[in-house]
Amino acid sequence: MTGDEAVRDGVRAGERAARRLAELGVCVLEPGLSDAEFDRIEAEYGIVFAPGHRGFLAAGLPVGRAAPPEEGESPRNPWPDWRDGDPDVIREWLGWPVEELLFSVEHGWWLPGGRWGHRPADPAEAVAAARAALASVPTLIPLRGHRYLAAAGAGKAVAPGRAVLSVVGADTIHYGRDLAEWVEREFGDPGSDRAWPEPAAGDRVPFWSDLAG
């Protein structure tokens, strides 16, 4: 598949996901983001949406739940509001994957396999070493709650992997090979115990997918 074909395929998957989300009626959808809005958002937050993520948000912008939160569920809106949301909240959300992983490092976790070298004995030094190593991993952009998609690299048309990831500290799970599969798993068939295929090599997200095994 060429780069242009991969971009078109990603956009189509994002559009299918948005249509399915609308059919399921699980969130409030506003008109999708315009090209001008994408340009503003990417410049403000220093990110580049992957083709699938861009296609998804251009087809319809999720801005909140379709029903009040259930008992025990966080009252916080699980969808980032890229159009009118609080910039500080969105920046915090963008920082969660790395900051929560660093919290795990502070409390004893260390990347297995020697890829980060020997763990420093001092927790502060371990966090500093991990932060330096994480500076080169793909940025994760919030999709919903702790679900993320990898950002496209600066100046690149295709993102490093299309898999949707659930990331909480060092606990990472593949939640779909692309957005369309994620919507079906998260909302269309929740609680299913059937096996979901692992993403192909080209759909895995460098570093983050390795945490998922």
**DSSP assignment of 39-79, as one string?**
HHHHHHHT----HHHHHHHHH-EEEEESSPPPTTS--S-SS
The residue ranking higher by pLDDT, 76 or 28, is: 28
Mean pLDDT of the chain: 88
User: pLDDT band for position 32 (50/70/90)?
Assistant: very high
| Residue 141 parent element (H or E) | strand 140-144
Laid out side by side, the sheet with 147-150 consists of: 140-144, 147-150, 164-168, 171-176
Place of tokens 């500093």: 128
Place of tokens 């315009």: 34
pLDDT reading at 154 higher than 70: no
pTM above 0.85, yes or no: yes
Sign of CA dihedral 142, 148, 153, 155: negative
Tell me the C-alpha distance between 69 and 78, whole Å.
10
DSSP-derived pairing of the beta strands 61-65 and 140-144? unpaired
Q: What does the block give as tokens for 66?
A: 């379709």
User: Residues near 128 by Cβ (< 8 Å), separated by ≥ 6?
Assistant: none
Specify whether the CB–CB gap between 51 and 10 falls below 8 A.
yes
Tell me, what's the pLDDT at 167?
Answer: 95
* pLDDT cut 70: percent of the chain above it: 87
DSSP-derived pairing of the beta strands 61-65 and 147-150? unpaired
Q: DSSP E strands: which ranges in the chain?
A: 27-30, 61-65, 140-144, 147-150, 164-168, 171-176
The residue ranking higher by pLDDT, 162 or 143, is: 143
